[in-house]
Amino acid sequence: SRTPTIECVPTIIREGRAALVTSFGVVKYMVAYSLTQFLTVIMLYTIGNNLTDYEFLFIDLGLITLLVLLFSRTSSYAYLDPKPPRTKLISWRPLASLVGHLGICFAFQAFIFEYVKRQPWYEPFEFNT
C-alpha cells in the first residue's frame, strides 16, 4: 500500500488466509485425484486391463486443467472472519473428508464396474496361455 497506515492489514490477512485454504484444497484434490486413479487402475487389473495412454492424458490434462482454472479464479472472502482457517493438513477433519470422498468414489466405481460386467453385451477378456 502506498499510504503510511495500517488499513491494508485486514486485506493482507484475508489474502493470506485465502492462499492457505486454496493450498490445502489443491493438496487434498491432488491426493484424492491420484488415489482415485490408483483405485481405478487396481480395479482394471482385476480383469487384466489398464487405462490407455489417451485415457491417462484425458484424466491428467482434462481434470487437472479444470482445477487450475477454478482454484486460481477464486478471490478471498470480503470480510475478515474472527476464526482462523485450519493450519494442519494431517488432522482428523481433512483426513476424514478425504477418506469419505475416496469411499464414495470407490463405491460408485465398484458399482458401475460390476453393473457393466453383468450386462448381456459384456464379454470378459480371456487370456491366451
Residue pointed to by grid coordinates 482415485: 36
pLDDT tens, position by position, 73-109: 777 777 777 887 777 778 888 889 899 999 999 999 9
pLDDT category at 39 given cuts 50, 70, 90 is very high
pLDDT of residue 1: 61
CA–CA separation, 42 vs 36, rounded Å?
A: 10
Phi then psi for 86, rounded to 5 degrees?
A: -65, 145
pLDDT category at 129 given cuts 50, 70, 90 is low
Gyration radius (Cα) of the chain, Å: 21
Looking at the predicted structure, is the pLDDT value of residue 68 above 80?
no
> Could you state, in order of their start, the residue ranges of all structural domains in the chain?
9-77+90-117
Looking at the predicted structure, is the pLDDT value of residue 12 above 90?
no
